[in-house]
Amino acid sequence: MEVSSLWNEWVEEALSKLESLKLLRALRPLYLSNLQQQAGNERISNDGDYEVFDEMQPWDRSSVEVSVSQSTYNQWLLDIPSTGDEIVPGEGLADDKFGTCQQQFKRLLLFSGNDYLGLSSHPEVRKAAAKAAQEYGMGPRGSALICGYTYHHRLLESSLASLKKKEDCLLCPTGFSANMTVMVALGNIASLLAAGNMLLKDEKIAIFSDELNHASLIDGIRLSERQKSVEFFVYKHCDMSHLSALLSSCKMKKKVVVTDSLFSMDGDFAPMVELVELRKKHHFLLVIDDAHGTFVCGKSGGGVAEEFGCERDVDICIGTLSKAVGCQGGFIACSKKWKQFIQSRGRSFIFSTAIPVPIAAAAHASVIVARNEKWRKRALWNRVQDFRDLTGIPITSPIISLVVGSEEKALKASRQLLRSGFHVTAIRPPTVPPNSCRLRIALSAAHTTDDVKKLTAALSNYINFQDIDNNSVNIYSKL
């Protein structure tokens, strides 16, 4: 039997159980007052109403050019913790406006953000947020199941479902909550279908997780595990032999494999083709977190699954609006049945206030702009090629992870870059294991070739590019 058919049966059975218990939850989009006056007006959803551009514009640079106060800069160089108070305007600032007194601020080129396409500063995105805020305020403040779900939310969901080639989509307040929502909902399948009050081992769900998956996936799985509905198996990073062995030895019928599609700290891709082959053999549900792949990968920006030609083999695709979309929020692209189930049993979704209307409007504008301004994705991958050409480091994505080892070395390297005018943060435990501290560099379409040249020139002062371990992208530093 097809993998999707098996899980469809289980989801339908679980939905039937929820219906019998009167626990099914429904979304009911609200039409806000100004929107009701424009009933039938296609202006909101018409791509042609968004002004798009063929090349980088001056405002794009605001997503990669930042300023810090001189006091913050000095504290950073000395590794002194900051309370953040120094960013508050005070005496000495002309007109009490941040950044107007240039001698008190240090300009930096940002290589630490996740705004891969530079869309956070796009005029149409800003205009959509401002217009929605002026017309509707922040919208009805409540959870999506109470009163927080509007036409703007539904419009955004539809555009994301289309992008991911899925039947439907469910918005969440953050990408973290989207991952938590899916993992907890999965555990509920087992509880609902159990024959008795006590779950038997073969009634539980076996979840297989890559050891380097995002913390939100791990926390969600652990929460389900505590509810006694899930057994949790960790496989070695991208090791399909290890995963295959674990799957073969597992006698539980309901299996789920969950993985990041593009790993946020290492910049490598999940082996999607091999995962699909294992899915056909072991009939597991395939769930991917495409946070860093959405609009970055694939011909139409559909993500890593599109890049590897396996969109139909991914059952549930989780994503975020806070990276390449340049806004805020999370989403779950899936079938209509899965959406109905997740919105009925995903606690992080049910008990969270929906994203504000201006954010939903801005994110929808960003999706439209990303789809039309195709030069942005090309520019991003050109910067990846620039970095490869200039350093010889065989990076495969806009996420560049340069492992330097100890915390002291990572902090020293970050401070060296700061002196050269670059904002590159040292990544330390608990985000990464001890002695694998690193510089995490993130490229953007708003960067130029000259930006990358300057960065690599600064890096070359204390990193031997030729001493690269092709498998782990470790470096031997001169620090």
- Please report the pLDDT score of residue 76 as a whole number: 80
Half-sphere exposure (Cβ direction) of 152: Cα atoms closer than 13 Å: 30
User: Which two tokens mark 234?
Assistant: 């960790």
**Residue of 192, 285, 261 whose CA lies nearest to 2:** 285
User: Distance between CA 190 and CA 211 in Å, rounded?
Assistant: 24
- Please report the pLDDT score of residue 37 as a whole number: 43
What is the DSSP code (8-state) at residue 114? -
User: Distance between CA 479 and CA 19 in Å, rounded?
Assistant: 63
Cβ atoms < 10 Å from Cβ of 277: 15
Strand partners, 276: none
CB contact at 8 A, 285 and 7 = yes
Give the burial string for 148-175 (b: 16+ CB within 10 Å, else e). Answer: bbbbbbbbbbebbbebbbbebbbbbbbb
User: Distance between CA 113 and CA 108 in Å, rounded?
Assistant: 13
- Please report the pLDDT score of residue 63 as a whole number: 86
Which residues are within 8 A (CB) of 368 and not within 5 positions of it... i.e. 6 or more apart?
A: 47, 50, 124, 159
- Please report the pLDDT score of residue 91 as a whole number: 46
Q: Output the CA torsion sign for 86, 92, 97, 100.
A: negative
- Dump the DSSP string for 242-308: HHHHHHHH---SEEEEEEESB-TTT--B--HHHHHHHHHHH-PEEEEE-TTTTTTSSTTS--HHHHT
- Please report the pLDDT score of residue 86 as a whole number: 63
**Residue of 120, 108, 122 whose CA lies nearest to 57:** 122
- Please report the pLDDT score of residue 99 as a whole number: 44
- Please report the pLDDT score of residue 50 as a whole number: 85
Kindly compute the dihedral angle of the four CA atoms of residues 367, 368, 372, 377, in this order, to the nearest 10 degrees: -10
Alpha carbon 378 to its chain's center: 20
Q: What kind and span of H or E run contains 440?
A: strand 437-442
Kindly report the average pLDDT of the chain as a whole number: 89
Beta strands at 426-427 and 105-110: parallel, antiparallel or unpaired: unpaired
User: Which residue ranges form the domains of the chain, and what is each CATH number?
Assistant: 3-7+21-31+124-371 (3.40.640.10), 109-117+375-477 (3.90.1150.10)
What is the DSSP code (8-state) at residue 356? P
- Please report the pLDDT score of residue 102 as a whole number: 44
Give whole-number Cα distances, 49 to 35, 151, 161, 354, 365, in Å. 16, 18, 21, 26, 10
Residues of the chain with pLDDT under 50: 35-45, 91-96, 98-103, 470-472, 476-477
**Residue of 289, 364, 360 whose CA lies nearest to 144:** 360
